[in-house]
Amino acid sequence: MLNRTGIPTPDLVLSRFPESKALIRPKAILECYEDIPCNPCQTSCPFDAIIIGENINTQPQLVVDKCTGCGLCVTSCPGLAIVVAQIKGDQAVFKIPYEFSPMPNKGEIWDGVNRSGETICDAKIDAVQLQTKNDHTALITCSVPVEYLHEFVTIRVRL
Ligand code: SF4
Ligand code: SF4
């Protein structure tokens, strides 16, 4: 399915999530599904929580216990393949990369979008960080209902 549509199967997505009890703290979700020569995620992590190893074509693995959820790897990934996820009560809180215009503003409600590009829920914008060192990739913190933990992937401006 991934090769044909570019959309990972639900099982493939689930394989990149740590168990729910680990998500009481923010953890990186590495949705990197191809063997490609790339490693900024590994080199950007100050906590050695991402392992690729000597073969740069190897898909990255998260060392869950080492990940603090800082989000540095999110904006370093050229493929926009990383988010940070955390469960907070009835909300799933994400840090996602965002490179489109317009930029969201804190407090706004945007559409929450799944991996097929479909609107699935409200996404409340909690914070917007845009630093020049991130080369125009913003780090957006947003909250969606927790039942969309494994479906939500990004936001779209509400028209
Ligand atoms: S979120 Fe921070 S600690 Fe976790 S893997 Fe990414 S850079 Fe490392
Ligand atoms: S930086 Fe992104 S695309 Fe590159 S290996 Fe890491 S997760 Fe995959």
pLDDT digits (tens, 9 = 90+) for 120-130: 999 999 999 99
Q: Are 58 and 52 in contact (CB under 8 A)?
A: yes
Among 30, 32, 56, 76, name the best residue to mutate to test ligand 2's pocket (greatest count of ligand atoms within 8 A of Cβ). Answer: 32
pLDDT at 143 over 80: yes
Per-domain boundaries in the chain:
2-156
Token pair in block for residue 30? 């590495």
Alpha-carbon span 37 to 14, nearest angstrom:
24
Ligand 1, atom 2, lies closest to the CA of 70
DSSP state at residue 38: -
pLDDT digits (tens, 9 = 90+) for 65-83: 999 999 999 999 999 999 9
Report the b/e string of 86-122 with b at 16+ CB within 10 A. Answer: bbeeebbbbbbbbeeeeebeeeeebbbbbbeeeebee
**Of 120, 150, 139, which is closest to residue 17 (Cα–Cα)?**
150
Say what the pLDDT of residue 1 is: 67
Q: How far is CA 154 from CA 64, 81, 86, in A?
A: 22, 11, 15
CA of 158 to the centre of ligand 1 (A): 30
CA of 159 to the centre of ligand 1 (A): 33
* pLDDT-wise least confident of 5-14, 29-38, 106-115: 5-14
Q: Report the pocket of ligand 2 as residue ranges, CB < 6 Å.
A: 30, 32, 38-41, 60, 77, 79, 81-82
Ligand 2, atom 3, lies closest to the CA of 79
- Predicted confidence band of residue 6 (pLDDT cuts 50, 70, 90): confident
Ligand 2, atom 6, lies closest to the CA of 41
Token pair in block for residue 83? 């988010």
pLDDT at 134 over 90: no
CA of 4 to the centre of ligand 1 (A): 30
- Judged by DSSP in three states, 112 sits in strand
CA of 64 to the centre of ligand 2 (A): 17
Q: What is the mean pLDDT of the chain?
A: 95
- In this structure, the chain runs to a length of 159
Q: Quote the pTM value.
A: 0.95
pLDDT at 133 over 80: no
In whole angstroms, how large is the CA radius of gyration of the chain?
A: 15
Alpha-carbon span 88 to 146, nearest angstrom:
8
Query: How many C-beta atoms lie closer than 10 Å to residue 149's C-beta?
Result: 19
CA of 78 to the centre of ligand 2 (A): 7
